[in-house]
A and B are shown apart, each in its own frame.
Chain A
Amino acid sequence: MRRSKVTLCLAVLLVAALAMSVLPSCNPATPPAGEKVIKLGLSVPFTGAAAEKGAPIGQGQLDAFKYINDELGGVEGYKIEPVWYDTAYDSAKATTIVKKLMDDGCAFFTVVSSKDMNASKEAANRAAFPGMVCFSSPSLTHPPMHIYAQLPDYGDDWAAFARYYLQNIWKGEGKPKMALMLLNNSTGYGVRDAARAAADELGIEIVAVEEHTATTISETDALTRIKDKSPDVIFISSTPAPTAVILKNAYDLKMTPGTTVGCAHASFTKALIDLAGKDVTQGIYGVYPTVNWGDNVPGMAKMMEYCDTRHPEYAGNNDYLIGWASSLINAETLRQAIKVSGGDSLMKGDAAAWALAEKNGFMNVKNYDVEGLHGPVDFSNPVDKRGSKSVKIFQVQDGKMVSQTGWVDAPNILYENFDWFGK
């Protein structure tokens, strides 16, 4: 009896799973019948190793679509139906999800993480299914095809900081010596590749490249090796916890204060200051592609209102801001496409709709200000698929991240011109 029940349960589970995998989209926010709806795909790591960033971004995206539908009446009379799936930060899952989004009839899609987009890009490029990625690495947009980046990539962080350092901080003779402390994945390797491509041209000597894991508890060894090479500046591209370890170790080794330290945007969040402390982070520079939470820009009040009402746990989290901005860019892309080709053709979500979304949508987004939340977005340059090319340089002063610049443009590094670049 017990056996038959177990067998029955297993059979029901398998049939349900099989049925759901071939069913059409079962997603939330399905508008009432009769409304004109355009579907947009979202591939979000709500769970898994990147959930810390994926969840606030995903909720920011969904909240912004709710705001656009409920308060703005959609886009040019068309409601947006976000079709979302959780990738769990699993690349195989991300590959199948992009196919599902094509089957579901989405006009285009957005992916949160660079790893998930890396898993999706080949399928999307082969089918000419346009997509945008929030966090990107150089390999996603080089060579330029059908993938667009919302923000500058990790390599851009390094390039923007390097330029700022040379123009504003470096007072010595000749080339400054720089050491890189990198997380052992694309967050770190994006910086390594940018430095490899552009350090000579910018006039910087890379004297050390050290790697660490996301779970490191001490980087004293690596910093001691770096100290022997007497670098003028150390650049860290990692996540907040390992960056805090590095900064504490550098402080203990008396490398800071004294040596300039710059952090890429994945390292440089409020969590870094909380983890490392005010004294250790005092004077540290950081690169970030958005404004600060609460800054006086046009889109901030509405975003904060939705965050406080629907997801108060993410108040102050700039990843929520990035997600919100991502949906605003999606809506602008759609607006441009509808203006030229009409919404009905985009509603079909087929290959013709994808081509229209890209040609009349993405490529017509020019200097869109994203309500001031981050640097202006422009997808019209066929050889530069980065939407925002701008970052701000911040410095930690008394435990606060204080902006040192306006929007600083990151140069477009043409990785495809180098033999070592992935073909």
Chain B
Amino acid sequence: MSLPCGIRNYSYNTDMAIIRTRTQWVLFILFLLFLYTMPLYLPRFGLDVMNLMGITIVSIVGLNILVGYCGQLSIGHAGFMAVGAYTTAILGSSLGLPFLVCLILSGFSAGLVGLLFGMPSLRVKGFYLAITTIAAQFIIIWIINHWTDVTHGSMGISVAPAGIGPYQFDSEASQFYLIMSVAGLSILFATNLARSRIGRAFIAVRDNDLAAEVMGINVFSYKLLAFFLGCFFAGIAGSLFAQWRGNITSEDFTFGQSILYIGILIIGGLGTAIGPILGVVFIRLLEQFVMFLSPMIERIFSGLPSGFATGLSPLVFGLAMIVFLVFEPRGLAHRWQLFKASYRMWPFSY
């Protein structure tokens, strides 16, 4: 663990703490203040974008455990989110279970489905494993579309706003507090997991599963555990998505979303605690940027050929991703580390 110049640890507890210096505490509290006062000054749309970011962070935290730490490539994450979303919708709407129960059960149901599709990891890895997770995506969506007595097929299911006791999270602001709190807990869990015995076993499996097995790590168990945990978070994210949206259909959980999630993780930085957050913030804000770009360009340059401005958004989005990966292939987390290092050494950068 790197520390600022002139700081050293005097106990095991301080060595293990995530936040270790007074400056870090001040910055952390200021960040929390900034975050939790956002509903006071952000418009409805801004809060909604933040809510979407929070949900995506929870999902990517799970994917990071699976792909980033344990090295098990999964391209069916949106499918696992769908399991969580439908669990919340069905248990909440049909059985009337409270939201918190639905939230936890959504995580478990997605985790169990993840276990099922993680079984092939005993035999296959890399791209071959990726194919089985793609199959998971399509099988899950197929079941949702055809098990119409339960899922209502293409009609979708309405989901009542989340509630704890008499309190309903039915506004953008109240949803913001719920989603950000769950996102914060997810990040904390994943950060601690990575530093634990389990996390180190994940990393060993990722780096060389043969060597890990020789060291006494039960590779198959840890791979399955990674699938369970990764999909558990996908289920939690799906549950939050369902109550945020208010209704869900299978069309909300596409293969394209699964690909996007992998892209977010790569851009953020695989196998780092901060990577999922930075990746989600970058991609979601870039999406907003390109969304505003087309109308603005059409307004400023009225003589452009038909369809030029409207077609520009995906071009800019794709270009930004390519340029980013060329200049920073190790992800935003690496850039963040460089920034912190230069800050610690400042003004003596050499």
Contact = CB atoms under 8 A, between A and B. Distances in A.
Interface of A: 3, 6-7, 10, 13-14, 16-18, 20-23, 26-30, 46-49, 55, 58-59, 84-86, 88, 91-93, 95-97, 99-100, 102-103, 115, 118-119, 121-123, 126, 137-139, 184-186, 189-190, 192-193, 310-313, 415, 420-423
Contacts, number: 164
A423 B152 contact: yes
Contacts of A193: 153-155
A122 B245 contact: yes
Contact of A93 (B93, B287, B295, B310): B287
Contact of A126 (B42, B246, B285): B246
Given A17-B289, A21-B285, A22-B46, A126 B170 contact: yes
Given A85-B295, A421-B152, 12 more contacts: A3-B338, A13-B320, A14-B285, A17-B286, A22-B42, A46-B294, A48-B314, A95-B245, A193-B153, A311-B307, A422-B157, A423-B157
Interface string B265-305: 00000000000000001100111110110111011001000
Given A3-B338, A7-B339, A422 B158 contact: yes
B238 to A, nearest CB: 12
Given A84-B295, A102-B44, A18 B93 contact: no
Contacts of B256: 49
A211 to B, nearest CB: 8
Please tell me the size bucket of the interface on B: 35 or more
Given A186-B154, A422-B155, A21 B45 contact: yes
A355 to B, nearest CB: 17
A7 B44 CA distance: 30
A21 B246 CA distance: 23
A231 to B, nearest CB: 21
Contacts of B249: 118, 139, 186
Contacts of A46: 294, 310-311, 313
Interface SS of chain B: helix
Contacts of B314: 47-48, 88
B251 interface: yes
Nearest to B296: A26
A29 B299 contact: yes
Contacts of A88: 291, 313-314
Given A139-B156, A193-B154, A26 B52 contact: no
B246 A123 contact: yes
10 contacts: A10-B282, A27-B295, A28-B302, A46-B310, A55-B310, A86-B294, A103-B45, A137-B154, A421-B152, A423-B158
Contacts of A103: 43-45
Contacts of A84: 295
Contacts of B251: 91, 115, 118, 185-186
Interface of B: 42-46, 48-49, 52, 93, 145, 148-149, 152-158, 170, 172, 244-247, 249, 251-252, 256, 281-282, 285-289, 291-292, 294-296, 298-299, 302, 306-307, 310-311, 313-314, 320, 324, 327-328, 332, 335, 338-339
A149 B256 CA distance: 28
A6 B43 contact: no
Contacts of A119: 245, 252
A23 B294 CA distance: 15
B48 A99 contact: yes
Contacts of A99: 44-45, 48, 172
B347 to A, nearest CB: 14
B154 A190 contact: yes
Contacts of B148: 420
Given A6-B327, A122-B246, A27 B289 contact: no
A393 B262 CA distance: 46
Given A118-B156, A422-B152, A26 B294 contact: no
A58 B310 contact: yes
A326 to B, nearest CB: 17
Contacts of B295: 26-28, 84-85
